[in-house]
Amino acid sequence: MKLLIFGGTQFVGRHIAETALAHGHEVSLFHRGQTGPGLHPQAEHILGDRKGELSVIGDRRFDAVIDVSGYLPQVVNKSVGFTRNLTNHYLFISTISVYDAEGMSQVDEATPLLVPPAEEVDTVTNETYGGLKVACEAAVRSAFPAATILRPGLVGGPYDHTKRFDRWIQAAIRDEEIRIPTDPDRAVQLVDGRDLAEFALNATERNLAGTFNITGVPSNWGELAAALRALAPSGNVEFGPSTDENPPMVIPLDSSDALFRTSHQRAVEQGFSPRTIQEMVADAPNWPQNLA
């Protein structure tokens, strides 16, 4: 397949580009050249800012477009408007943050969505992120009614530049004290970026239409702590308030608990196969950012 990827050089996008190339596809990456410009030498790199002129892409046909970097509906509208004449299929990476999960016990694809912010809002913040993604999804569907919409949960794994999960992995490898400022029985889900990428390519190859939550195997903080103890030589992982010298994992602990109980059954029925938190932690010392 000939694929056009918006993004493709950082974290989730990097995994998707690597997976596409591993599947033998012809890949063109549209990006600004600011992150990982030397990555994927076997792919075509088209440099540009999707907020501006897209004509540099040309008028070639693509079997599918994969959009990893769409955060503002104004920008996504421009992208789908341009590419609707270049392809028949569009896959958009969204987020479970689109759900209005307050008061819910669990989330699935039928959970109500947040109300998008006003049209003039063009800044992504913790408060606007989910609503803006709702508007982005609507923009994609307006141009591609049979689009694939993937809503990942919290993502971890190789190449994670956010350090939300990896900072504790590194602390365990260094055998530093880890204190987890939450309840061990509290739910948590973490999906590996490689599993997300594999499903994204599977869906693209099949022109799979619809919306799918891409979340990790259901777990809790106690199970995550046990996995970290198995990784740390002294097993010094406890629950309690953190200190400035031992900052907590950068995970939205104030998020609705329902978001950490998000069903991925629809995706599993279509071939999604996420690894467990225990498998992720055990493999983490082999991730490039954790190798000495």
Residue 176 lies in a domain: yes
Provide the number of structural domains found in the chain: 2
Residue 201 lies in a domain: yes
Claim to verify: residue 82 and residue 132 sit in the same structural domain: yes
What is the DSSP code (8-state) at residue 288? G
Claim to verify: residue 256 and residue 117 sit in the same structural domain: no
Residue 99 lies in a domain: yes
Claim to verify: residue 208 and residue 223 sit in the same structural domain: no
CATH number at residue 140: 3.40.50.720
Claim to verify: residue 172 and residue 202 sit in the same structural domain: no
| Contact of 136 with 172, CB cutoff 8 Å | no
Containing domain of residue 239, as a range?
A: 162-189+218-260+275-290
Residue 234 lies in a domain: yes
Residue 270 lies in a domain: no
Residue 135 lies in a domain: yes
Claim to verify: residue 81 and residue 201 sit in the same structural domain: yes
| Contact of 98 with 153, CB cutoff 8 Å | no
Q: What pLDDT does 164 receive? A: 81
Claim to verify: residue 210 and residue 65 sit in the same structural domain: yes
Claim to verify: residue 169 and residue 279 sit in the same structural domain: yes
* Residue-wise DSSP of 65-94: EEES----HHHHHHHHHHHTTT-S-EEEE-
CA distance to 108, 139, 185, 191, per residue, from 76 (Å): 24, 7, 39, 25
Q: How far apart are CA 149 and CA 137, in angstroms?
A: 7
Claim to verify: residue 66 and residue 197 sit in the same structural domain: yes
Q: What pLDDT does 243 receive? A: 62
* Per-position pLDDT tens, the chain of length 292: 999 999 999 999 999 999 999 999 999 999 999 998 889 999 999 999 999 889 999 999 999 999 999 999 999 999 999 999 999 999 999 999 999 998 888 999 999 999 999 999 999 998 999 999 999 999 999 999 999 999 999 999 999 988 888 888 888 999 988 888 888 999 999 999 999 999 999 999 999 999 999 999 999 999 999 999 999 988 889 888 776 555 444 445 556 688 899 999 999 999 999 999 999 999 999 998 887 5
CA distance to 45, 113, 213, 254, per residue, from 102 (Å): 42, 11, 18, 11
